[in-house]
Amino acid sequence: MAPSSDADEPNDVALSDPVTEDTTAPKKRSLISSTVTLTLPLPTLPFELIVEILSKLPMKSLMQFQCVCKSWKSLISDPKFAKKHLRVSTKHHHFISTFPNSVMSYPLTSLFTDVTAIQLEYPLTQQYRRFERIVGTCNGILCFQIDHDSVILWNPSIRKFTKLPCLDETPRLMYEYHYEFSFGYDHSSDSYKVVAIVYFINGNRVLKTLVKVQTLGTNSWRTIQDSPSGIFGEVSLGKFVCGTINWLAYRDMISSWNIISLDLEKESYLEIVQPDYGGVILTSLELGELRDCLCIFSRSDTFTDIWLMKEYGNKESWIKLFRVPDIRDFGYNPSVCAIYVSEDDQVLLEIESELFVYNSRDGTFKDLDIQNTNYVTRAQIYHESLISPCF
């Protein structure tokens, strides 16, 4: 209850020496000369409640709150808290694009309103960047292929990275090697895995392939069973969906494409049945990931259909989300890829390294005037997290 008069001050508020009012001085002056010292105790929240509150905050706040006290810094740095934050926090997604001398990040929501760009502090110096591309993202960690045969894992949100050991394949006199890397998460063992496909090449011929896996926290690559469907398509980056890596593959240059899935837990393969394209004559196929589902972009002469597998592995769950018409002449058989679909069905498209927003409800396009100038990689979506790539 509030005190009824100044004489009823509570005991836990201590005043300075009594102040005698000087009627000849302005009243404001006498108020300034008085001081009050509060000794009210600050409320203390249970630690469990603090954990719940912090786990729902964005990364920017958490990075600042590490400076509050040692216990908060220890909590925010704890791998268990990082997993909890990943599970319960609101995802702050970013679109990331690579350029010859920089890596740019764009808050995903800004692409549908006013584009805002942030230059990331890429962890490697220029002398080590002879070749690079993003080959996958998972739980806030970006996987970069560098120098053809090496991989770094980088979480830009916490500015940590690790470089994996190089593959131990050394080109022999009769043939050379080509490498394709993919990245994903094995829920069963709570571990992250990098998958490498090694192509043995003689001239223009692929003689054979090897598939190798490195589990984060180990220092060596393991050779696993090769794909039963033969040669993987070199143009197909592996897509991580539901604990699996998925590629487009073919047996020979004249055969049709297949979708091959590698289960990261069992390290075994499965062929994924494609959707019924309805008799459309296809000129190209490309795999993607939308809304945590496997998707495929089927290209014809004048449009691209976007297919989504709502239940992974169930061939009956394929649905056609959108048909994207050509908006201008990009040349023969342009590459069209959907990167993200908003809740109101606006589609972020990459067409021949240019970015557009397609409104599927009214059929309009918006040119974002952003180019992903690194022709060897697709633009990627990642979300902020505390997950460390250093194990």
pLDDT tens digits for range 11-52? 333 333 333 334 444 444 433 344 445 455 556 788 889 999
- Whether residue 307 is contained in a domain is answered as yes
Helices and strands (H, E) in the chain, number of each type: 5, 26
Residue 366 belongs to domain spanning: 91-383
Same domain, 324 and 214: yes
Strand partners, 323: 305
Same domain, residue pair 64 and 201? no
For residue 21, tell me if it sits in a domain: no
* Residues paired with residue 218 on neighbouring β-strands, in sequence order: 216
Interval 52-76: pLDDT, tens: 999 999 998 999 999 888 989 999 9
pLDDT at 231: 56
Q: What is the pLDDT of residues 291-340, one digit of tens each?
A: 999 999 999 988 999 999 999 999 999 999 999 998 877 777 788 889 99
User: Residues 165-184: what's their mean pLDDT?
Assistant: 76
Indicate if 311 and 248 belong to the same structural domain.
Answer: yes
pTM value surpassing 0.75: yes
Whether 69 is covered by a domain: the verdict is yes
Provide the CA 101 distance to its chain's centre, in angstroms. Answer: 21
Phi, psi angle pair for 84, to nearest 5°: -65, -45
Q: Which residues of 157-173 are buried (b: 16+ CB within 10 A; e: fewer)?
A: bbebbbbbeebebeeee
Would you say residue 1 lies in a domain?
A: no
Alpha-carbon distance of 131 to 51, in angstroms, equals 42
**Which pLDDT belongs to residue 250?**
72
Burial class (CB in 10 A: 0-12, 13-18, 19+), 384: buried
Residues 281 and 257 in one domain: yes
Q: In degrees, to the nearest 5, what angle opens at C-alpha 134 toward C-alphas 334 and 219? A: 145
User: Quick one: which of 193, 99, 98 has its CA closest to 139?
Assistant: 193
Buried b (16+ CB within 10 A) or exposed e, 14-49: eeeeeeeeeeeeeeeeeeeeeeeeeeeeeeeeeeee
Gap between the Cα atoms of 362 and 255, Å rounded: 38
The CATH code of the domain that includes 259 is 2.120.10.80
One domain, residues 73 and 129: no
